[in-house]
A and B are shown apart, each in its own frame.
Chain A
């Protein structure tokens, strides 16, 4: 079970949290201007990087706040956490084959 540092409450066990997938995917302002393909890409596709990945979590059994996590999806190392709307901090980008 991961230990996730909530930016508000501190480090807590993973079972207090919910997962929200890729971060910084912005909902299009005017979806009707998107092609079917573009819209499907927004709704269904995520980068799902192996390595450093920016993703969203919610502290559902805690402060109920959404926040961003930078996690190495191979090692589960949490490289940074930051609030919604913040610019992602610089981290070493881990990539794997």
Chain B
């Protein structure tokens, strides 16, 4: 029969909207407003999973985020999601779900065999058994994972997109229950910018599941009215289906908003989730409390759930979680659940109360309603295969440590248990707020805040509804005031019931007919299958600190994060060690409070936006020319320009040859440029660079080497003297931002007396480097006002004039070893210049070349690339550049160059390598040895830093850093490769081509 356990009236469901869904292959129905959990209960489905380790049958423990058992695989195909709590899934038309912790099905679970061997699975079992031999863990892990059933990841790309945004608030209120609503109203009325978030689809929190009244009307009506008032305020933003999951430094709170998970049809234009990064001046935490299970023998059968969960299913979703219920409680508040269940037609077989002398307003009301109360009793045993059907109860000794007398058997299909309440202090604790143990409620409550936050209501240990509302209002007002607003005086007090859930009695471990560990299992952490016996074992084995117990037994791990298990575990440890709980301390709560998808973390910063891409003004031309691009820093640089049918190797050989034999052109726009001016500019350069700068005259350029204070090469480049006290520094492409920061740091922090200003002009210019024997001829054709003759325009000078009809600064410098000119124009003219060069160069078969050819050409000349030949451990001497280090002046890093390890003759030094077989191209990064052995270890003497095939040399060649290499020219080294191959090489000078520099000076 459809929805057999649906009550005929009540509940916050829409009975006009029937919803079809599929669970574990069966077609079922529920209503709009149901969760998957409430709909399953409406259909009498209680067996919803198997436990993690023992594969015991499990049902719903809870009705909210704390549910540890009902983990579901939702949906199919690309959108499938694993390990979602059924209690948090809103029902929608066509939803498909199946439990994750069962194989092949929840009823016939093969892994249940683990139960028979449960003695083999004590605490630390995985650590003890599977860690030897160490290398086998990968094998074990695979088997354990499939047996444990952790759900399936989608095997297709995520079809959804995710939004991410920043937000700012005066007051952020987390939780829209009675305390949160009262806080938001108080803060909102003051004019403060308020963000109110709640994980539920509707606001109201605990009021949605209770029959309590506020100001003489149902609590739900009060909540609706409060929300209507808040919605009318421009300064208030209400986010439902949004969970505040992380509380970070300086009141930075992360929220996750779900937008489409509850929809049957996923709209294309709505993000699946939105990740909010909120900076709040003040935070009010109104996150409520989570009911605590009781730890008794076999307390995990389906049909045994938290009393508040049973009450919620009845009141909020109008479903009967059972026909005949037993209340098992240690406190007064839980009796309201029994009263509500009774009112809904559920038979209450008995209330088993751990208290010797049950009292309190709800207890009295239950007694008056005719509920049979068994005082000082405990449940000693439970029975039932896939659902509890019978329990045994017995009276306890006065101290509650053992049984006192024989008991009775009760038939029931529902046990509603309550061990009291744990304030949800996760966010307070994440914010580094301190906790204290409150013995009145036997749980942890916020002690003091470290950040600008305050807790109100149940999460603060306050439980009477009237007090919760008052505390919420006070917190909202105080938060608004602290954020600089002046809230008006409160207009009267909210009228509501004043009782909390006490009086109560705290018994952490309920006695049974057999000692703990010798019959049945007393579960503490349902999700991770941790029992009281496991905790005892851990303690016996010497893990006494709570952090160790937690890790050794896995208590409070997984999605549970201590929500239901934490305090019970501490209580049991405390009893065992005979220490008060407050002396044990509490484990630390860490974000996230609930799992967060990777999609949401990534937001829009994925794929094309994973990193910004920087493009030169000539980029569109390179694209049209079919260039392959290389990422250099954030820049997209042409790597090579393959013609039809060419491989990268072919293209690079062709491009290199063209530059050596006729004419090539390179987009060199990406080099960093820093304008340096001021009377002390020359002095500044002298301190920053290793070489001297005071003799450089306007119109001239000079190569400079920049070190860190540690003496290691940090950057290099050519600096031009533009005029008196005016320079233009070039940096490497990748180093531009760091170099500017490095220079500014020295100017602002060490040498503020220097009159120098730095301005980045990297992007002001576009640069084309023309290189090759025909470079001068081409330049002559493109300019009318620059004398390009060797006498008028010598090497390492620059001239300003016009090229291609636009203003240009042309530098005669060379990174290719060829006759070369770098033509700089204003960036807006970059594409024009490039196209003009290409058109005019046609007669010289001008060949655009990319970074790979640039590398070949410069490596043939032995020119280094910072970041390739250097890695932060290379000094100028290592590179054979000691002549660039002035001995006449101080410069950054100089002192480090005389530290003893810098003078070690056995440091790795730059050399050239020629493989014996001219066709063997060494791998960059390959390690080099002097003596080859059949297998490692072999003493490594260096590594290959750059390696290419040179059409000019007609062979492969490489640059390498080798210990003492400068004195090993002519000796052999070997690069052992994978397989049996070893490449033998001869060490040479790093300059392979035109060592005298005749071509570039010509």
Contacts and interface: CB of A to CB of B under 8 A. Distances in A.
Given A3-B279, A75-B450, A76-B250, A84 B749 contact: yes
A64 B748 CA distance: 10
A40 B432 CA distance: 37
Interface string A16-33: 001010000011001110
Interface stretch (B477-485, B597-605, B894-902, B906-914): B894-902
A31 B249 contact: no
Interface in B726-765: 741, 744-745, 748-750, 752
A43 B277 contact: no
Most buried by A among B744, B748, B749, B752: B749
Contacts of B251: 3
Interface in A40-91: 40, 42-44, 56, 58, 60, 64-66, 75-76, 84-85
Contacts of A64: 744
Interface of A: 1-3, 13, 18, 20, 26-27, 30-32, 34, 36, 39-40, 42-44, 56, 58, 60, 64-66, 75-76, 84-85
Interface of B: 166, 248-252, 277, 279, 432, 450, 709-710, 741, 744-745, 748-750, 752, 890, 894-896, 899-900
Contacts, number: 58
A25 B820 CA distance: 45
Contacts of A30: 890
Nearest to A44: B710
A1 B895 contact: no
Contact of B899 (A13, A18, A39): A39
A66 B899 contact: no
A2 B709 contact: no
B130 to A, nearest CB: 38
A15 B176 CA distance: 31
A85 B753 CA distance: 11
B172 to A, nearest CB: 14
Given A3-B250, A31-B895, A85 B279 contact: no
Nearest to A65: B748
A48 B248 CA distance: 22
A37 B46 CA distance: 72
Contacts of A18: 741
A66 B748 contact: yes
Given A36-B899, A36-B900, A39-B896, A1 B745 contact: no
21 contacts: A1-B277, A2-B249, A2-B252, A3-B250, A18-B741, A20-B745, A20-B749, A31-B894, A32-B890, A32-B895, A36-B900, A39-B895, A39-B896, A56-B749, A58-B744, A60-B741, A66-B749, A75-B450, A76-B249, A76-B250, A84-B752
Nearest to B249: A76
Nearest to A18: B741
Contacts of B752: 84-85
A32 to B, nearest CB: 6
A13 B895 contact: no
- Which 5 A-B pairs give the minimum distances between C-beta atoms? A31-B895, A3-B250, A66-B748, A76-B249, A43-B709
A55 B745 CA distance: 13
A21 to B, nearest CB: 10
A82 to B, nearest CB: 13
A43 B900 contact: no
Contacts of A84: 748-749, 752
Contacts of A2: 249-250, 252
A15 B248 CA distance: 14
A84 B744 CA distance: 13
Nearest to B747: A66
Contacts of B166: 13
A43 B895 CA distance: 10
Contacts of A75: 432, 450
B940 to A, nearest CB: 26
A34 B896 CA distance: 11
Contacts of B279: 3, 13
Given A2-B249, A31-B894, A66-B749, 16 more contacts: A1-B252, A18-B741, A20-B745, A26-B750, A31-B890, A32-B890, A32-B894, A34-B895, A36-B899, A39-B896, A40-B899, A58-B741, A65-B748, A84-B748, A84-B749, A85-B752
Contacts of B248: 1
Contacts of A34: 895
B708 to A, nearest CB: 9
Contacts of A20: 745, 749
B815 to A, nearest CB: 29
A30 B752 CA distance: 17
A66 B745 CA distance: 7
Nearest to B760: A64
Contacts of A31: 890, 894-895
A13 B741 CA distance: 19
Nearest to A68: B749
Contacts of B895: 31-32, 34, 39
Contacts of B450: 75
Nearest to A78: B250
A2 B752 CA distance: 28
B896 A43 contact: yes
Contact of A58 (B745, B896, B899, B900): B745
B14 to A, nearest CB: 42
A31 B741 CA distance: 23
A18 to B, nearest CB: 7
A1 B899 contact: no
B897 to A, nearest CB: 11
A57 to B, nearest CB: 11
B698 to A, nearest CB: 28
A96 to B, nearest CB: 13
A13 B745 CA distance: 21
A2 B251 CA distance: 8
Contacts of A3: 250-252, 279
Nearest to B900: A36
A51 B710 CA distance: 28
A85 B745 CA distance: 13
A1 B896 contact: no
A66 B744 contact: yes
Contact of A1 (B249, B741, B748, B900): B249
Contacts of B432: 75
Nearest to A43: B709
Contacts of B748: 65-66, 84
A50 to B, nearest CB: 15
A50 B636 CA distance: 43
Nearest to A37: B899
A29 to B, nearest CB: 9
A26 B752 CA distance: 12
A56 B746 CA distance: 12
Most buried by A among B251, B745, B894, B895: B895
A78 B710 CA distance: 30
A11 to B, nearest CB: 9
A64 B277 CA distance: 25
A1 B250 contact: yes
A4 B25 CA distance: 55
Contacts of A1: 248-250, 252, 277
Contacts of B896: 39, 43
A95 to B, nearest CB: 17
Nearest to A3: B250
Contacts of B745: 20, 58, 66
Nearest to A75: B450
Nearest to B254: A1
B747 to A, nearest CB: 9
B786 to A, nearest CB: 36
B676 to A, nearest CB: 15
A74 to B, nearest CB: 9
Contacts of A85: 752
A13 B252 CA distance: 10
A44 B899 CA distance: 13
Nearest to B744: A64
Contacts of A26: 750
B248 to A, nearest CB: 7
